[in-house]
Amino acid sequence: MWGDSGGLMHRPAYGCLLAFVLTLYVVEPCGGQFVGQRTYCNPVDINYQYNFEQKARGISYRAGADPVIVNHKGEYFLFVTISGGWWHSKDLVNWRFIKPDVAPHQWPKEDMCAPAAISAGGKLYLFQSTFEQRPIWVTTTPETGRLDQFNPRLPQMPGAAGPWDPALFHDEETDRWFMYFGSSNLYPIYGIELDYTNRLSYVGSADELFKLHPDVHGWERFGPNHSSAITPFMEGAWMTKHNGKYHLQYAAPGTEYNVYANGDYIGDGPLGPFTYAPNNPISYKPGGFVTGTGHGNTFQDNFGNYWNTGTPWWAVNFDFERRIAMFPAAFDPDGLLFANTRFGDFPHYLPTKRWQNKDELFTGWMLLSYRKPVVASSYRGVYAAANVTDENPRSFWVANSNKPGEWLALDLGGPCEVCAVQVNFTDYKSGLYASDASVYTQFKLYHSLDGTNWMVLADLTNEKRDRPNAYLELPAPVRTRHIKYEHAYVASPNLAISDIRVFGHGAGEAPRTPINFQVRRDGNDPRNAFITWEDVPGSVGYNILWGIRDDKLYQTYQVFADQRTALELRALTVGQNYSFAIEAFNESGVSKPSATIEIKADR
């Protein structure tokens, strides 16, 4: 009935059924995207642009990195490395790509890497990473693409090489301007004042502000799970002022691993001196589907909520193939900045007001597709259908052809309440090095209770938009068991999908709280902690919740249940106390967290 199984999984599926009364709301279909969409899901659903950087090496990939989201006059503008333009949104979910209109000037032929952007005084300013003289651009209407040169040639940086990975900051209370920058495993983060009356030219010389200390800060160590002795990198400076304090953020230890994260130093002045924030890293997500949160920015939405953006690691064709993510953020009563990455790659509500609890934006829609059986119309070599439910973007399915009608079908194991689906495409031998009108994504999704009678779930066959990480929130939950992808078009010569992720509610009860939870600090290296727990039958995964106090469990490390019931956490700071808890999750919900365990600082 299914055709070629393409690597059918034989692991028993978790059953599921309709869990609660449906909440109805009025929506209208609109070109495959639903008007009134209330949720988003990382990675951000934008048309990531194909990158020309590795054309000489024959490496074709599309990526987005080093995001800056700017709230300009109540609308949002997203600037990303080497994208040939930027994105505009009115709601943080529907993003429209904008090509720059810079005549008679020229958009830089090398494009913009890690651009700086800021909205101040009704104007949006834009500047690129550079070691040479480059213009500062300005516009009052970034939605039109029109840019003018505010400073045609910013002079050479005095006192340091750069600025690479720049960030612009306007202190509204003092009406002073500053730039922060640095991207190196040798040099520090720098800061320098700017003179607005002289078109934001430099004032004096750049000041060295701080460096990495991986010997003290475990999370600043390089490599997968901080396991490498290579000197780590620091980059991605960003400044946020809050209640009179200056929060200078930075990224470490390197973009090409799961532990890429954001940290924070706090100062009384814009150029310091700065003190290391005790709850670092402030944004950290080493486990799950989307891993890595480093090098982004912090901004406020129209309701006053803070967000922290970052650069998850994708790395299918190239180590620097990346995506964009955004996480709810806040300042706690003690003035500490943190981002909430708990279930950070599951659907979240877009806020309609100022949120009060860090977890209230989580929809509660659980992952229904993990390790579920998959069959396909065809598959090629080792690129089997089973790869699309393993929650790993670096494994994928490749069909024998890119012709319309190729398909994948997932069996969720029983009737479920499905609320959303995310389809993540992969560039397999794409041979594309620029995005143009031919680059778009078209497909249909079907659903069925019996695997025989199919109904349309979503239809994107009339879209002319590229959606390599298409996220589809359904207008109302659907009770179903089987989800089917039917192909129509991608620009690549090969149809490849890394993951189809299904979210909603399953059967039965949430799992019980894990027992025998234990945490032991490494006696030889206090940057590490050894964590163990007892497996909970029927669970899909676990969240290790940790932080510097029982009421500050801001960090999460997600572990799937088919992995070991143990974790070596290598992200602690020497001399800092920590508290830990654990929760289990399955397709029906999340357990209550365990009692916290405190481990003391080394003596």
DSSP string, 350-363: PPSS--SSTTTTB-
**Per-residue pLDDT tens over the stretch 52-104:** 999 999 999 999 999 999 999 999 999 999 999 999 999 999 999 999 988 76
**Residue with tokens 């944004």, as numbered in its chain:** 283
| SS3 per-residue string spanning 101-152 | ECCCCCCCCCCCCCCEEEEECCEEEEECCCCCCCCEEEECCHHHCECEEEEC
The residue type of 492 is S
What is the arithmetic mean of pLDDT over 437-461?
Answer: 97
Task: Tally Cβ neighbours within 10 Å of residue 368.
Answer: 32
What is the C-alpha to C-alpha distance for residues 146 and 139, in angstroms, rounded to an integer? 7
Contact 409, 299 (CB under 8 A): no
What does the pLDDT look like over 375-394, one tens digit per residue?
999 999 999 999 999 999 99
For 537, residues 6+ apart whose C-beta sits below 8 A from its C-beta are: none
Residue 10 has pLDDT above 50, yes or no: no
Run of H or E residues at 78: strand 75-79
Q: Is the per-residue pLDDT at 7 higher than 80? A: no
Average pLDDT, the chain: 93
Whether omega before 43 lies within 30 degrees of 0, making that bond cis, reads yes
Say if residue 331 is exposed, middle or buried (CB neighbours under 10 Å; 0-12, 13-18, 19+).
middle
Q: Which residues pair with 316 in a beta bridge?
A: none
d(CA 587, CA 385): 22
Q: Which domains does the chain have, with CATH numbers?
A: 44-345 (2.115.10.20), 366-505 (2.60.120.260), 518-599 (2.60.40.10)
Q: Under 8 Å CB-to-CB from 181, ≥6 apart: which residues?
A: 129, 160, 162, 163, 164, 165, 166, 167, 189, 190, 206, 237
- Can you tell me the distance from the alpha carbon of 154 to that of 485, in angstroms, rounded to the nearest whole number? 51
Q: What percent of the chain has pLDDT over 70?
A: 94
Q: Which of 136, 53, 132, 39 is nearest to 94 (CA)?
A: 39
- Ranking 102-111, 127-136, 149-158, 484-493 by mean pLDDT, the lowest is 102-111
To the nearest 10°, the Cα dihedral for 495, 348, 556, 184?
A: 60
Residue 35's pLDDT band (boundaries 50, 70, 90)?
low
Number of Cβ atoms within 10 Å of the Cβ of 456: 10
Cis bond leading into 253, ω under 30°?
A: yes
Q: Convert 506-570 into a string of H (helix), E (strand) and C (coil).
A: CCCCCCCCCCCCEEEECCCCCCCEEEECCCCCCCCEEEEEEECCCCCCCEEEEEECCCCCEEEEC
Burial group, residue 560, by CB count within 10 angstroms (0-12, 13-18, 19+): middle
Q: Which residues pair with 330 in a beta bridge?
A: 338
pLDDT at 22 exceeding the cut of 50: no
Phi, psi of 55 (to 5 degrees): -60, -40
Tokens of residue 353, six digits: 């007001």
* Collapsed DSSP state (helix, strand, coil) of residue 545: strand
Residue-wise pLDDT for 500-546, tens only, equals 999 999 988 999 999 999 999 999 999 999 999 999 999 999 999 99
- Give yes or no for residue 3 having a pLDDT over 90: no
Residue 172 has pLDDT above 60, yes or no: yes
122: pLDDT strictly greater than 90: yes
Count of other CB atoms within 10 angstroms of residue 133: 12
> How high is the pLDDT of residue 110?
87
